[in-house]
Chain A
Amino acid sequence: METLNFCFDSAPVLKGASPALCGVVGSGNLEILIKTGIEPAACRVCIKTSARGFGETWQAVLGSFAASHAAGGTVIAINDMGATPAVVTLRLAQALAEYQGGGQ
């Protein structure tokens, strides 16, 4: 297992609801928990992943997410069982929508 921590600049999130959970820690999948943080223009992420050595890929995927979404003011915790970047990207979008109270 590897634990990774990142902090990205991101536009403040529009509307923050209660903590939101998305996904399941199953093979090739991950769960994402979004909570409210204290820095309105920062998105902090902590990842525990079963696949070691992909820090750079995580940084790119999450950096792209933080740049293309308003996700500032959130703290994101991730438990990962080898999800591909495609799955991570999809779950992040789902979790953020859930956090904003929209679901789908």
Chain B
Amino acid sequence: MNAPLARQWDSLRQSRGRRLERAASLGFGREIPVDRIIDLLEAVIQPGDRVCLEGNNQKQADFLAESLADCSPERINHLSMVQSVLALPSHVDLFERGLANRLDFSFSGPQGARLAKLVQEQRIEIGAIHTYLELFGRYFMDLTPNVALIAAQAADAAGNLYLGPNTEDTPAIVEATAFKGGIVIAQVNERLDKLPRVDVPADWVDFTVLAPKPNYIEPLFTRDPAQITEVQVLMAMMAIKGIYAEYGVTRLNHGIGFDTAAIELLLPTYAADLGLKGKICTHWALNPHPTLIPAIESGFVESVHCFGSEVGMDAYISARSDVFFTGADGSMRSNRAFSQTAGLYACDMFIGSTLQMDLAGNSSTATLGRITGFGGAPNMGSDPHGRRHASPAWLKAGREAYGANAIRGRKLVVQMVETFREHMAPVFVEELDAWKLQKSMGAELPPIMIYGDDVSHIVTEEGIANLLLCRSPEEREQAIRGVAGFTPVGRARDPRAVENLRDRGIIRRAEDLGIDPRQATRDLLAARSVKDLVRWSGGLYAPPSRFRNW
């Protein structure tokens, strides 16, 4: 019998050594001259590699993305890309130019239409569309990068990195790559003799390059209070009185829409009048929303951990270190992986918005001809069965869902929508576009953002539906129809069944909550303009130019 073939146990390390040797033979040290970045990428990236390109809601490794797209497809091809967000034109260029052919990702905002086209032309193979936590998890399982291209604020001569307030995804990416024989290349905005703090130690980083301009950052979480409508104020009042107060929600995450911005701005006024200060909204997993400033200044908020930062908020955050997580240097430390974990397991409530919802409560932001993905919403907008610690809100929801002898609690997952979007597009529909999208893309699953069985409440201008209390699919359907307003789905309700649900408190109208819709005016908002937010912050918040009218 033959002895088993001797297996080589350090092929990754050897491969890494060969890549570094190739770079050294071209004269590269750790600091790469900006005009030679393509030579470096072509030296260390091999055909068939799995490459992680950093970028998310805030910062983007935009220079490295463009440089990779400019590499020769003769030298680099069949790349398998893993990345949180497909946001920049260069991200799609990689596939159109033949450098990459496979993609595992989480979210694709503005490039959604180009991506859908590539899929239909079969020029891209999508592994899966993930949530952030799933994707980060797979970096440590079966999608570990060979090469990671990341973005940092600054590097020192040794190669240590300072990430600034937008730490975001960097720790997860670097950890997975650097400790599994991979190569880490960082674009930096500046080189400093002494970093404010070290976020990534030099021996986890192989190369740094000074980008020609600072990495692109999008002010994605800034909502101008001037655009909040009376209807949004009304829904926010109902949510505060009918959900936040009733369950005593202290630990939570908010989506990024105007609906939840309205809630944030009603905390110092309406919620304070209801005596809710200290009783709700004390601990948050949230990006630093400028619209949260009045609630923080009013003493509502004890702690906020952030996925990333927000343009113009840095000085304010530094000056409120009791509330935000900051380093010894004073600047914020964000971390998407940890904040998502907090959102999943440590929050009692997620509240957000959606574009479409069906009669089972499934919701989706997917529309035909665009592949957009999910980001973090499904992590936060789901009831985690792994949770074991109790809280009053979690227990109350659990008893409503499973009865008085419940052996577990329940997360509150609230969808807040006006029944019609702009151009009179109904939010409530018989069938989600997601199903047609699945067919046209040949995907294995319809792109549903939040599953109906995770949703606990729906808030519309017509009222609140408490799905926890529904005892059959038929009741759920009528509960949803009963708050679907004048959409075709809403008009097809069974009025008797809906009135019955209202008698049982499963559907509650504004008047049932003691709210007169005519009280819902913008005067209730603690800030009605971006300038008001600046005033609340004592001049510390510096909004981007596009949000100013002064």
Contacts and interface: CB of A to CB of B under 8 A. Distances in A.
Interface of A: 28, 51, 54, 57, 60-61, 64, 82, 84-87, 89-90, 93-94, 97, 104
Contacts of B423: 82
Given A57-B486, A93-B517, A94-B518, A86 B418 contact: yes
B518 A104 contact: yes
Given A57-B486, A86-B231, A86-B461, A28 B518 contact: no
Nearest to B234: A90
B486 A90 contact: no
B424 A90 contact: no
B542 to A, nearest CB: 30
B517 A84 contact: no
Contact residues of A: prevailing secondary structure: helix
Given A60-B491, A84-B420, A90 B485 contact: no
20 contacts: A28-B229, A28-B422, A54-B424, A84-B231, A84-B419, A84-B422, A85-B485, A85-B486, A86-B231, A86-B418, A86-B419, A86-B420, A86-B461, A86-B485, A90-B461, A90-B517, A90-B518, A93-B518, A97-B518, A104-B518
Interface of B: 229-231, 234, 418-420, 422-424, 461-462, 485-486, 491, 517-520
Nearest to B520: A90
A54 B423 CA distance: 11
A60 B231 contact: no
B518 A60 contact: no
B233 to A, nearest CB: 10
Given A85-B419, A85-B420, 7 more contacts: A84-B418, A85-B486, A86-B418, A87-B231, A89-B461, A90-B517, A93-B517
A94 B234 CA distance: 14
B259 to A, nearest CB: 12
B230 A90 contact: yes
A86 B424 CA distance: 11
A97 B519 CA distance: 12
B231 A90 contact: yes
A102 B518 CA distance: 11
A67 to B, nearest CB: 11
A90 B231 CA distance: 8
A94 B517 CA distance: 9
Contacts of B461: 86, 89-90
A64 to B, nearest CB: 8
A46 to B, nearest CB: 19
B105 to A, nearest CB: 34
The interface centre, meaning the residue of B419, B518, B519 with most chain A CB atoms within 10 A of its CB, is B518
B229 A82 contact: no
A104 B486 CA distance: 25
A57 B231 contact: no
Nearest to B486: A85
A64 B485 CA distance: 11
Nearest to A103: B518
B424 A82 contact: yes
Contacts of B491: 60
B346 to A, nearest CB: 34
A54 to B, nearest CB: 6
The interface centre, meaning the residue of A61, A82, A90, A94 with most chain B CB atoms within 10 A of its CB, is A90
A51 B424 CA distance: 9
Contacts of B230: 87, 90
A97 B517 CA distance: 12
A7 to B, nearest CB: 19
A95 to B, nearest CB: 10
Contacts of A94: 518
The interface centre, meaning the residue of B230, B486, B519 with most chain A CB atoms within 10 A of its CB, is B486
Contacts of B519: 104
A93 B229 CA distance: 16
Contacts of B518: 90, 93-94, 97, 104
Contacts of B462: 86
A44 B369 CA distance: 44
Contacts of B520: 90
A60 B422 contact: no
B128 to A, nearest CB: 36
B229 A87 contact: yes
A11 to B, nearest CB: 18
A42 B170 CA distance: 66
Contacts of A90: 230-231, 234, 461, 517-518, 520
A104 B230 CA distance: 14
A6 to B, nearest CB: 14
Contacts of A61: 486
Contacts of B418: 84, 86
A82 B424 CA distance: 8
A90 B230 CA distance: 9
B486 A60 contact: yes
Contacts of B234: 90
A104 B519 CA distance: 7
B485 to A, nearest CB: 6
A83 to B, nearest CB: 10
Contacts of A97: 518
Contacts of B517: 89-90, 93
A54 B461 CA distance: 19
A60 B419 CA distance: 14
A36 to B, nearest CB: 22
